[in-house]
Structure 1
């Protein structure tokens, strides 16, 4: 599929195909990746297990940057942390976050006793938990409901775009990967191209991860490098 997609890309370049007139409304032009969608000071649970105020910046590539301060950001200092929240889940209560953690890491002894202390001691009334598969979770805290609601909204946008924006890419590598997924699902009796997106963002991300692992395993067996 990689070779086919690459040659189709070359064919389009040589023949200079122009897109036909679409009957549906066109999407807006995407923003430049460097454009800022959100910025504000937020309490963040840092690597040293202490709560510190960080200047959070979300750019148009839907990455989450954490800077030491607004001053360091203005000076152009690189971000202390940069998160790509692909497959993430945003939770706003300790009870829901604890339930997610207990489901991911069940007690091998089968004990269902409530924990005596919280996972993270939150210094304010409005926590935000960002649960990330296969990566370290992130914790934020707010004093005002309006600020938390705005942050949760932009965080959910980041997750949605990180999960599904690759479908819009016209790069031949992406098109080859999506075509391979399409053929794989046809073998399993699913013939609609949108069928692979049925389910939650986590289920879709898990499907893509499984298919990618299967493709890499086949490539290794055939001696093909990706």
Structure 2
């Protein structure tokens, strides 16, 4: 998983699920591609970050079934018609571009884009409505898309690694944003990646009509294919979940008696691989990786650092506002204020200025895809925002815990305010210490995610093709456990880590 937050001295609360009730609701105009006109519907963002829509608010209140719904995982929230048109153009290669709208779309627009699900073109009633909806949808996209990464379990990590190795066997390195969403959606993304070139060459030419009509048919076709694939995968995955515990027990019985022998065998193979891989890997690092490490590390540290500072400022501001109200209100108001402080991390509009700092990655790391094949900027942005939310949640929870420990020392409102101020300073001191190490670790891990796939790809022809020579070293009984691909990647990673350490330089730990 991306971050385990081990070693943090802030008190960490248990991961809290968002509320079950509707998080946000209201009327929005949305563009209908069939009629090429704007229509108004009533949208509801549920507590599990599913977006539903109804014909009207009255239909919702009467208990009518929604007109439709979609999970927000895998979506991109776009701000302008040009961004939306560019995304469609990439998906509709081979078709003429142009605006998807019949007329000028107007202002106060925002878009939900997914390559294989229904697209949404929204128009809000006011700038305030647009801002609130964007903040709420952004939070839903982040929460649903990083579900697996936040699970922080060996099982989730093993699944993501298995998908990555599957793609690497086909010469595709750096899974990036394909690994966003729950397991069935990730598998669906990978399968659509395999199918898309075939569908473009064999199905797209059969569509007839104007370019706009062909584009519309193509998008509808992709949505239908994806829905079919996702339904099949979800059923298969649910069946596998029922068998998983039994398979794990069988695997454990197989490993336990021979674990020492397996580890010895793994070390022997690693030693042989190092003799073959170390020289080419270090040469590739010094030639193609190290010259860029310092600059990329700086680019990684800057937005997450700014976001963490924004979290710190927001926390301090919220506590200062609370202290100000406590000075002029009855003491009983404090409990209500503490509860409101604890909800800060779950208020997307309040956290938005912090989260927006992470969006700077989309511009500052733009050149990494062309130079290093890195296609994981969306995952990087969402990961940085998760870190910011976790730090705010930790800080507010720690503040509440410390207050409960020391509240007996406070008498009147003046003493109460002084005590709250001292608790705030103590939390901020811990925040500074912990956030420094966490953002450093965050940047280090993403540095490896950028350069390890690049290095593996460049070593494929010279080193990876040698792996079959070592298959005979693995006993038949250990074939499904001692994985040559894993051992090989660990060997390449061992060559990259010293280069990453040198590339961080003296600026590695910001204040």
TM-score normalised by length of structure 2: 0.30
What is the aligned partner in structure 2 of residue 193 from structure 1? none
Structure ID, larger Rg: 2
Match of 1:159?
141
Is 1:36 the counterpart of 2:22? The answer is yes
1:179 match: 158
Moved over 6 A (4+): 186-189
Where 1:139 maps in the other structure, the secondary structure is strand
1:84 matched residue in structure 2: 71
CA distance in 1 between partners of 2:188 and 2:41 (Å): 35
Q: Is the 8 A contact 1:87 1:205 kept in 2?
A: yes
Which residue matches 2:100?
Answer: 119
Offset, 1:205: 2.7
TM-score, normalised with respect to structure 1: 0.63
Q: Which moved more, 1:141-150 or 1:179-188?
A: 179-188
User: What is the CA–CA distance in structure 1 between the aligned matches of 2:27 and 2:166, rounded to whole Å?
Assistant: 50
Alignment of 1:175-214 (within 5 A): 176=155, 178-182=157-161, 199=176, 202-205=177-180, 208-209=186-187
Moved more, 151-160 or 44-53: 44-53
2:57 is the alignment partner of 1:70: yes
C-alpha change, 1:179 and 1:46, in structure 2 (3 Å) is: same
For the 8 Å contact 1:86–1:132, the answer to whether it is kept is: no
Looking at structure 1, the residues matched to 116 and 166 of structure 2 have their Cα atoms a distance apart, in angstroms, of 29
Q: CA deviation at 1:106?
A: 2.3
1:45 corresponds, among 12, 31, 34, to 31
Deviation readout 1:70-115 (Å, 9 max, x if unpaired): 111112111111111221111121111111111222236xx7xx73
Matched, 1:26 2:13: yes
| Shift in Å, 1:142 | 1.8
1:139 aligns with 2:121: yes
Q: 1:212 to 1:179 in 2, by over 3 A?
A: farther
1:97 maps to 2:78 = no
1:56 paired residue number: 43
Instruction: Give CA deviations for 1:134-176 in whole Å, capped at 9, x if unaligned.
Output: 1231111124211111111111111111111244559xxx974
Instruction: Measure the CA separation in 2 of the matches of 1:184 and 1:140.
Output: 34
Q: Which one has the bigger helix percentage?
A: 2
Going from structure 1 to structure 2, the CA distance change for 1:212 and 1:186 (only over 3 Å counts) comes to closer
Distance change in 2, residues 1:55/1:180 (3 Å): closer
